Structure 1
Amino acid sequence: MDWDKLRIFHAVADAGSLTHAGDRLNLSQSAVSRQIRGLEESLAATLFHRHARGLILTEQGELLFDATSAMTKRLDAAAARIRDSEEEVFGDLRVTTTTGFGTLWLAPRLPKLYAKHPDLRVDLMLEERVLDLPMREADVAIRMKEPSQADLIRKKLMTVKMRLYASSDYLKEHPFPDSFEDLKDHRLICQNTDSAQVGASASLVQELMTHEINSLLTVNNYFGVLQGVLHNLGIGVLPDYLANDFPELVRVLPNLESADVPVFLAYPEELRHSQRISAFRDFVQEEILLYRKQLKSKQKE
């Protein structure tokens, strides 16, 4: 199969237009059209439905586009490895993690990474959906459970627990809760159990909901929960790693916490020798060590 025709087909399928694909490839519309016709003839299949609003893939076209997309991602991975210098760290690094961890823990620490590697370009993708690392949807992931995908290098970074916190200002104006029953006198702020989150957090919230809760605020990520707590709206269910960075948080009902939530860093086996991956991995591990030291120091106070 002609690689050049496949490259042109992929551009047309991605753009949905012969003209737009030609602009990307610096080819005329007629040249692009000829290549597509030639590919269709070689496959004895129609790849596009011609429509007034553009081109729409046929069923056969969808199958081929899936294959060319996988090829493109593999080629991107190979190109990234080739571009990696043995001594320098530069280029694009796509990092995926959850909205809460990425916003509240990782992003505030990134200045240290950029100070050490100013030529690195990080694309931080924050979402609860698990991206496919072997298919190159991202280069490296920090996940709140052990990755199950094959062909991944994975390393456990730390363990997180979900706990109850209120702001110090809030507790000056409201009675400190000493038991489950006291929660009825406070507003509970937590993630909705239907939203994407780790199972341990959902289990803790479900347990809390078995008690009398008169006022409730639910948010679909921990960033929103934290904002509610910091603005004195009530008592929130939050990950314990926030206690170091937000000293105004005060833990309440200290006997109540979730099961352990493991935090893993993972990346594809094929990027084992990537200098960008190594730099990011080392940076995260250093920050985890610093976090642990600060936590021990705080516990001794």
Structure 2
Amino acid sequence: MIQRKLADNLNWTLLHVLIAICEEGSISAAADRLNITQSAVSQNLKKLEEQLENQLVIRNTKPLELTPIGRYCLQVAQTIFTEITSIEAMKGSNLHLLEGNIKLLVVSRLHNPKYNNFLVYFKKKYPNITLDLTVKSSMDILNDLKQKNPAIGICLAKHTSDTLNQKILFNQRYYLYCGYHHPLFSVKELSISNILEENFIAFNSEAIGDVLSPIALFKEAHDFTGHVSAYTNNLDELVRLIYTGYGIGALPDKFVAATHLASKLRRLPPKDGIADIPVYIFWHKHRNLSAIESKFIEEIIDFDISF
């Protein structure tokens, strides 16, 4: 009876506000996304906490952190949102007739809740379309697409191509991290001055002019003097090297949140992170798209999974 009372009285709009706060990382950013005032966002959050009789968000952290019940509430809210999108997916009586195979080339370790929501939406709307996914590096994906291979690519890119169409899907925010076996892991208070001389583990693509060059530019602008103790082109190996104390490194925040080593990695200053790296969808300008390829591109762009 108590559970039914909560379900009957809970304002579902407040759950949407919670999703926005968590995905954007701050009340101000959530207000911009929802096109309402920061005061309105704060009031809605307070109302939700009052209805649930629990604190959901730990204030004065950047980005905002959730309490244990807050994390559970977010999971429930995201499930509700996904089911609501399925209602939209079922519009159009003939959409289920579209069928076939879409070849997708995707860079590894993309973590974005809205991207996941889109895949749920697309599957429910087009149940007879099969996705054939191959994981490759961003460079290999772009090279394949330039050869007019019948595929769509989702990856990182530094420079636009004259032969490819592209549309930004979302940004991955990168932060600096150290690992459990690094001396900084147990230091109570840290500022950016404490890390300027630390050695780095770097991606091969952090070179100036490459896809992750904003990371190198940040280090250069802030006079980091530590040397690179290891290079890798693999995100999992970079996490391993950070964890084992080879140096500090830059990682996308949502990937870290999803990894089993999240509790063994420590986010370092600056609190706001160091770079936004965009993820794009690409397809060749002069290759005829199939109907289902066109539909996939149209849907993922219209879904607006960008932050």
TM-score, normalized by length of structure 2?
0.48
Q: Please identify the structure whose Cα radius of gyration is greater.
A: 1
TM-score, normalized by length of structure 1?
0.49
